[in-house]
Structure 1
Amino acid sequence: MGVFGVFAAAMMSGLNSRIGALSLIDVKTGFGLGADEGSWIGSLYSAFELAAMPFATWFAVTFSFRRFHVSVVVAFSVLGLLTPLAPRLEVLLALRCLQGFMGGLLIPVLMAAALRFFPLPLRLYGLALYAMTATFSPNVATWLSATYTDTLSNWHLAFWQIIPLAIFSVWAVAWGIPQDPIRLERLKSLDWIGLASGVCGLVCIGLGLTQGERYDWFNDTLIVGLFCIGSMLLFVFLLAEWFHPLPFIKLQLLHRRNLGLGFTIFIGLVVVLLSGSLAPAQYLAEVHGFRTPYIAGIGLSVGLPQIVCGPAVSFLLYKRWIDARHVFAVGLACLGASCLVNAHLTSQWIVHEFLIGQTLQALGQPMAVISLLFLATSVVQPMEGPVVSGIINMFRAFGTLLGDALLERVFALREKMHANIILDSAASNGMLNPAQHATTAETLGDLAERISRQAFVLTIADAYLILGTLAALLIPLVLNLQYVKPPVLNTPSR
């Protein structure tokens, strides 16, 4: 029950981040903000969420798991309650920074809790709970966002929806998790240089990734400065962590193949997972002008099956004849096939045309994520769980921001290229000759809209091909991971 409480808090954090991004238009309208000011609401939250992840489990061990978790959930909830009531933009951004940092402290402790409190016959199911924070909450968030902003017409609920989960989490953790002794003596060995450089460096990198496309990347001094300062601070952070006797993350563990290579694969996998809901949602919004209520089915078709598929994959990995690397490879093949199917989309596609691709996503996501977690955590000793959890969650958050940034760049470049090609074709066919049209302005306006729509359709198809190719390229790396035997259970085999 205590781990379920931790799971509820991690889901609460993931939903808050995703719903906040989906409801950004309504939030900006509610506060009377423009596009430029509003873009910083999500950027600051994501950057500070990334910055908190490497340090969560260290402080959980220091202040005791139960006290730390309950305190962070309460702080996270209070900040969520206050956010819609912010009197001005500066206060709103400050609240989002603080809440993003608190949200980043919640997700890593879920993996640490699963490794510590679940016995061996249930450990893979605990990892399935963690996997659902990457496969369930991002996909269900679209439906929840539509419910709050369109069905209930109250954008405040995008921030206040965390309260029920927070109440359950506090009760379940306080009742179910044993009270560890507080180990304040660890504070004497706190790596202050690593803490300061790590937080500041990750915030700079996160802001650079989320604001890069809007500021034209390295053509803008702000983005160049953010990446330069962030890179230098991260170097200091990693150097301090390598030599510190009580580090936040133990980098020496990455020499183990399933950790070093596995976490590299994980970054690529997180990028591929964006093909599940982000790409089709952007297509439907841009090409057909759909708001979130009409896009919600796309996310639910992937998210809801995870309730069954996650435990089913965990059950499969316990079988003695199963090789987790092969399950992982099949999962990536499903994700790649989904991208290949959806790459044939046309401007006539609506929600139900994505059914085959989304079904493959629903099957492939848990097979890939849970298998990776099993292969990585199986080479970790129980006392190493907290330091590994910080690493994997930092890579996960970084992969999400990197994937978003790469897709934004692909959209910008490919859409411009396709629009120019279509425009040249239209000109060569005489479609832009005013003498052939009685109403030139109306015809040209309609033609421009059609060109823009078709260019975006071709851009989405390109994005699917890129993500599908990445999924295929990851398969040889997965097969190169170290084989791990399924856990031996105490129940007799049949």
Structure 2
Amino acid sequence: MALKPLIGLLGVLVAALNAQFNELVMAAALADVRGAFGISHDPGLWIGSVYASGVVFGMALGPWLAVTFTLRRFTLFAIGLVCGTTLLIPFAPDLSVMLGLRLFQGLGGGFTIPLLMMTALRVLTPPIRLYGLAIYALTATFSPAISSSIAALWTDIVDWRFVFFEALPLGALAAVLVWHGLPQDHSRYERLHQFDWRGALLLAIGAGTLTTLMYHGDHKDWFNSEEVWVLVLLCAVTFALLALNEWHHPLPVLKLQLLKQRNFAYGVLGLFLFVVLSLSSSLVPQTYLVEIQGYRALQGHWITLLIALGQFLMLPAVAFLLDHRWADARIVTLFGLALIGMACLGNAALDASWNREQFYLWQALQAVGQPMVVLPLLMMATNTVKGPEEGPFASALVNATRSLAAPVGIGILEFIERWRGALHSERLVEQVGQTRFQPMFAPNSLLPGSSPAVSEQGERLARAVVAQANVLTAADTFLILAAFGVALALLVVLLPVRTYPPRILFARG
């Protein structure tokens, strides 16, 4: 096949990775960025939530706009939007301006990522499509894992501003490759007469409501807050109306009819669960090392770097495995889920003595298991795409659902922390209360004047209770995420049907 389209695909890959780094590196370095701007914790929650709102809206709308304005032209616009807003953020005069820039930064990132799947489905012929899907899978496995290492480099060694400045060289490279490699199609402005304005409005409201709920729910004390109940109700009504509108619209933003195909429905639901499950290898162990063991980003990033580097070996290997007729994608997926489940259960045995060395074995299992889940999933989903006209709709639906998984996963983790953390704290305090006088009046706890060292002992005891409650909560989090793996395994058994690699399937068709 021709070389130029592959160069264009490489450019879209660089643009997609750049967009993801804007989100994930910023999330990993958020404490340093907040400190540099003088932003406290609660207002700082909006930095993540407005970005996530833009991503959800952009991922759903991006493929539709790319068909209308041409793939090449719209990709260059998305790259420019990402780079322009990212470079302006370090110079924002106040939080309001910063949040506005973050919203448009998220919108640009959301535009960019689904264009990678859309371009891969268009450019890659069936004999090499599996390897192209492995390239897309980098955005689900490699980017989340490498972001901690990049954040550690900028915040602990260079300067926090490079969290944003890194977008310029990557964006420039992506733009040159896209401009040179992607063909210039004819614009289809007549589609604007059929634009789904009602669906776009409902999507914007739903995305903003859901991300606000997930990012701010814990701060509002979840369902003990009237505001949370209002957000839940608004979310349910908005998404119900959105589904009804998209089902009946002649040219929808999200073509829900694709979900009638079992393998595509599995791809959408499975990728959502996988994104939540993958937090067991990134956010959860990183949070443990930072909050409980006092690690800096530069010290803790090695456990996720192991997963990131492993993808360059595992993704091509899994693609090669799936490219054989005898390889059943469902069996490969179940084997990968078994490895991830073992990693979650192994991590659930953690205690207060664990450091990063204790995580390496379980992270290695994650590095092997994750590509064995995500690549078969992508193959089963994209094998249902019957022609080039379905590619943009498939990309929009898969990526829009995937974009919802990140804020939902964060909300789930915060809910687990509040629920299990409160339970463990209460039980530990009860146990301490039963023997509260023994340590207080022990011989080594008396001051020279023979009065109990109540204050010092009490402070140490309180810190120990909090630390142990955090350890137990982290262990529970791994167990609950393992349950998500079980749910995904049940979905694999019940929903998808056997499919074959694209080079065989489409050669027969």
Q: What TM-score range do you get, normalising by the shorter chain?
A: over 0.9
Report the residue type matching 2:359 in the other structure. Answer: F
Aligned-residue sequence identity (percent) comes to 38
**TM-fit CA distance, 1:432:** 6.6
Task: Verify the 8 A CA contact 2:379 2:501 in the aligned structure 1.
Answer: no
Name the CA distance, whole Å, in 2 between partners of 1:226 and 1:160.
35
- Tell whether 2:459 aligns with 1:445: yes
**TM-fit CA distance, 1:489:** 5.7
Name the CA distance, whole Å, in 2 between partners of 1:360 and 1:189.
48
Paired residue secondary structure (1:102): helix
Query: 1:56 maps to which residue?
Result: 62
- Tell whether 2:430 aligns with 1:427: no
Deviations 1:280-317 (A, max 9, x none): 10110111111100111011011111111111111111
Q: Residue 391 of structure 2 is aligned with which of 376, 379, 385?
A: 385
Equivalence map 1:455-470=2 (5 Å): 455-470=469-484
Name the CA distance, whole Å, in 2 between partners of 1:403 and 1:478.
20
TM-score by length of 1: 0.96
Query: 1:231 maps to which residue?
Result: 236
Name the CA distance, whole Å, in 1 between partners of 2:267 and 2:48.
29
Query: 1:131 maps to which residue?
Result: 137
Name the CA distance, whole Å, in 2 between partners of 1:227 and 1:109.
31
Paired residue secondary structure (1:87): coil
Query: 1:475 maps to which residue?
Result: 489
Query: 2:15 maps to which residue?
Result: 9
Task: Verify the 8 A CA contact 1:375 1:484 in the aligned structure 2.
Answer: yes
**TM-fit CA distance, 1:224:** 2.7
Equivalence map 1:88-237=2 (5 Å): 88-152=94-158, 154-237=159-242
**TM-fit CA distance, 1:57:** 0.3
Paired residue secondary structure (2:324): coil
Q: Which segments of 5 or more consecutive residues in structure 2 lack a partner in the other structure?
A: 1-6, 447-452
Q: What is the total number of aligned residue pairs between the two structures?
A: 490
Report the residue type matching 1:404 in the other structure. Answer: I
Report the residue type matching 2:162 in the other structure. Answer: L
The verdict on how the C-alpha distance between 1:204 and 1:130 changes in structure 2, with shifts beyond 3 A counting, is: same
- Tell whether 2:264 aligns with 1:259: yes
**TM-fit CA distance, 1:227:** 2.9
Query: 1:268 maps to which residue?
Result: 273
The verdict on how the C-alpha distance between 1:67 and 1:432 changes in structure 2, with shifts beyond 3 A counting, is: farther
Query: 1:488 maps to which residue?
Result: 503
TM-score by length of 2: 0.94
Q: Which segments of 5 or more consecutive residues in structure 1 lack a partner in the other structure?
A: none
Equivalence map 1:21-36=2 (5 Å): 21-36=27-42
Paired residue secondary structure (1:380): coil
Deviations 1:166-185 (A, max 9, x none): 01110111111111101101
Task: Verify the 8 A CA contact 2:130 2:501 in the aligned structure 1.
Answer: no
Paired residue secondary structure (2:251): coil
4+ residue runs of structure 1 moved beyond 6 angstroms?
Answer: none
The verdict on how the C-alpha distance between 1:431 and 1:261 changes in structure 2, with shifts beyond 3 A counting, is: farther
**TM-fit CA distance, 1:431:** 5.3
Name the CA distance, whole Å, in 2 between partners of 1:160 and 1:432.
57
Name the CA distance, whole Å, in 2 between partners of 1:188 and 1:322.
46
Query: 2:44 maps to which residue?
Result: 38
Name the CA distance, whole Å, in 1 between partners of 2:206 and 2:472.
37
Name the CA distance, whole Å, in 2 between partners of 1:458 and 1:281.
15
Name the CA distance, whole Å, in 2 between partners of 1:464 and 1:93.
33
Report the residue type matching 1:416 in the other structure. Answer: A
Report the residue type matching 2:324 in the other structure. Answer: K
Name the CA distance, whole Å, in 2 between partners of 1:70 and 1:377.
25
Q: Residue 74 of structure 1 is aligned with which of 68, 73, 80?
A: 80
Query: 1:328 maps to which residue?
Result: 333
**TM-fit CA distance, 1:435:** 3.4
Deviations 1:230-258 (A, max 9, x none): 33222222222111111111101101111
**TM-fit CA distance, 1:433:** 6.1
Name the CA distance, whole Å, in 2 between partners of 1:489 and 1:471.
30
Name the CA distance, whole Å, in 1 between partners of 2:499 and 2:312.
25
Query: 1:408 maps to which residue?
Result: 414
The verdict on how the C-alpha distance between 1:418 and 1:171 changes in structure 2, with shifts beyond 3 A counting, is: same
The Cα RMSD (Å) is 1.6
